[in-house]
């Protein structure tokens, strides 16, 4: 890709602090009456959105229709389907911690993953600054810093599609590693901007999700941010998510099926016929995404890191 020098004032890179950039994708999106481009640091190659959206814009984005909320409980069938889609992640957790281990889900959203882990026997907690307040004490509305967890509080931390949302992903990882026990495992999943999906769809690639996604990772920059944050070792890197990979492909073609868009249209509900069509299209998409996964150019990166 031929990159152009960034025309705007260069902010310091949120990963290495360097302040020289090139434009990675010009006019990537227009939202909240602002134009956004994607820039790449000339020193560490970290890719991010410019300018950063303000807090009020993000609050509007994470409105009450973003999550299902406690009033929109899934059917037993959908709970089993969700359990099937995350089965491989649960298996990896059980390889590294006991069934009664203490897990924190960073960016817990509606709490579906936390509830599943608790049904599996783990002592699971979740935290999210934009989630709907919960009646349960193990789902916390807040941030890692506001929660003030003690050092080495958790055996494992999961962080699915969170780092791409953060103004300061490096500082968040440092705090996460502080509260993770030595020998504990952290599982992080983010979109992969070096994927074939991005190469195909460009600004229409659903995981760009501007302005909510302000950071865009490659396998190399994900490793780099962890190595900068603390003393860790990479155990495994995956490029497939049964939950996210087919969805990203479908929604890049048909953004109208995005759950948040549908819930906004139907007063917080996701009609059965929309849900059925969405899931059926994801199944149909699987043969088309397999080549990218095999080439390690799938739409997501999931890293398993151990704290030393």
Could you give phi then psi for residue 100, rounded to 5 degrees? -100, 15
The closest alpha carbon to 159, from 214, 207, 222, belongs to: 222
Q: Report the alpha-carbon distance of residue 139 to residue 127 in Å, rounded.
A: 6
Q: Which whole number is the average pLDDT over 135-164?
A: 93
CB 93 within 8 A of CB 156: yes
pLDDT band at 61 (very low <50, low <70, confident <90, very high): low
Q: Determine the average pLDDT of the residues in 72-86.
A: 73
Q: How far is CA 67 from CA 63, 70, 162, 249, 260, in A?
A: 8, 9, 14, 21, 7
**Rounded mean pLDDT of 137-151?**
92
- pLDDT of amino acid 1: 44
Per-residue pLDDT for 216 more than 70? Answer: yes
Determine how many CB atoms are found less than 10 A away from the CB of residue 240: 18
Given a cut of 70, is residue 229 above it in pLDDT? yes
Per the model's pLDDT, the better-predicted residue between 276 and 104 turns out to be 104
pLDDT at 226 over 90: yes
Q: How much is the pTM?
A: 0.90
Distances in Å between the alpha carbon of 19 and those of 7, 39, 235? 13, 11, 32
- The tens digit of pLDDT for each residue in 107-129 reads 998 899 999 999 999 999 999 98
- Copy the structure tokens of residue 239: 């490029």
> How confident is residue 83, by pLDDT bands cut at 50, 70 and 90?
confident
- Between these two residues, 263 and 293, which has the higher pLDDT value? 293
Which residues contact residue 222 at a Cβ distance below 8 angstroms, ignoring those fewer than 6 apart?
A: 188, 190, 301, 303
Q: What is the pLDDT of residue 130?
A: 77
Q: Please count the residues of the chain.
A: 308
pLDDT at 71 over 60: no
Name the helix (H) or strand (E) containing 292. helix 272-294
Which residue, among 106, 230, 210, has the nearest Cα to 163 in the 3D structure? Answer: 106
Look at residue 129 in the predicted model and tell me its pLDDT: 87
Query: What is the C-alpha to C-alpha distance for residues 13 and 20, in angstroms, rounded to an integer?
Result: 8
| Average pLDDT of the segment spanning 64-87 | 66
Taking alpha carbons only, the member of 155, 101, 165, 103 closest to residue 131 is: 165
Residue 68 pLDDT: 52
Q: What is the pLDDT of residue 207?
A: 95
Q: Of 195, 194, 157, which Cα lies nearest the Cα of 179? A: 157
| Whether residue 77 has pLDDT greater than 50 | yes
Torsion over CA: 197, 216, 94, 119 (sign)? negative
Q: What is the mean pLDDT of the chain?
A: 88
| Token duo for residue 259 | 């759950």
pLDDT confidence tier of residue 4, bands split at 50, 70 and 90: very low
pLDDT digits (tens, 9 = 90+) for 147-160: 999 999 999 999 99
């Amino acid at each position: 890709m031929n990159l152009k020098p960034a025309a705007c004032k260069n902010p310091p890179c949120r990963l290495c602090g360097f302040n020289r950039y090139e434009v990675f994708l010009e006019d990537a999106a227009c939202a909240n009456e602002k134009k956004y481009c994607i820039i790449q640091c000339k020193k560490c190659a970290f890719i991010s959105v410019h300018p950063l959206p303000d807090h009020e814009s993000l609050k509007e984005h994470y409105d009450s229709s973003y999550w299902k909320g406690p009033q929109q409980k899934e059917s037993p069938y959908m709970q089993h389907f969700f359990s099937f889609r995350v089965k491989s992640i649960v298996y990896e957790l059980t390889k590294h911690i006991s069934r009664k281990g203490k897990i924190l889900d960073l960016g817990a959203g509606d709490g579906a993953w936390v509830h599943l882990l608790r049904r599996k026997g783990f002592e699971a907690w979740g935290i999210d600054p934009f989630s709907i307040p919960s009646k349960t004490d193990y789902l916390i509305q807040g941030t890692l810093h506001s929660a003030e967890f003690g050092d080495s509080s958790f055996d494992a931390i999961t962080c699915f599609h969170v780092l791409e949302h953060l103004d300061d992903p490096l500082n968040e990882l440092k705090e996460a590693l502080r509260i993770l026990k030595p020998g504990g495992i952290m599982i992080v999943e983010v979109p992969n901007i070096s994927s074939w999906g991005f190469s195909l769809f460009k600004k229409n690639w659903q995981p760009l999700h501007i302005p909510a996604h302000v950071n865009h990772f490659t396998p190399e920059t994900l490793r780099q941010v962890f190595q900068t944050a603390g003393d860790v070792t990479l155990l495994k890197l995956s490029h497939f998510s049964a939950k996210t990979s087919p969805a990203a492909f479908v929604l890049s073609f048909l953004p109208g099926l995005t759950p948040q868009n549908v819930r906004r249209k139907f007063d917080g509900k996701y009609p059965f016929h929309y849900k059925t069509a969405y899931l059926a299209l994801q199944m149909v998409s699987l043969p088309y995404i397999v080549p990218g996964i095999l080439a390690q150019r799938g739409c997501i990166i999931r890293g398993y890191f151990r704290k030393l």
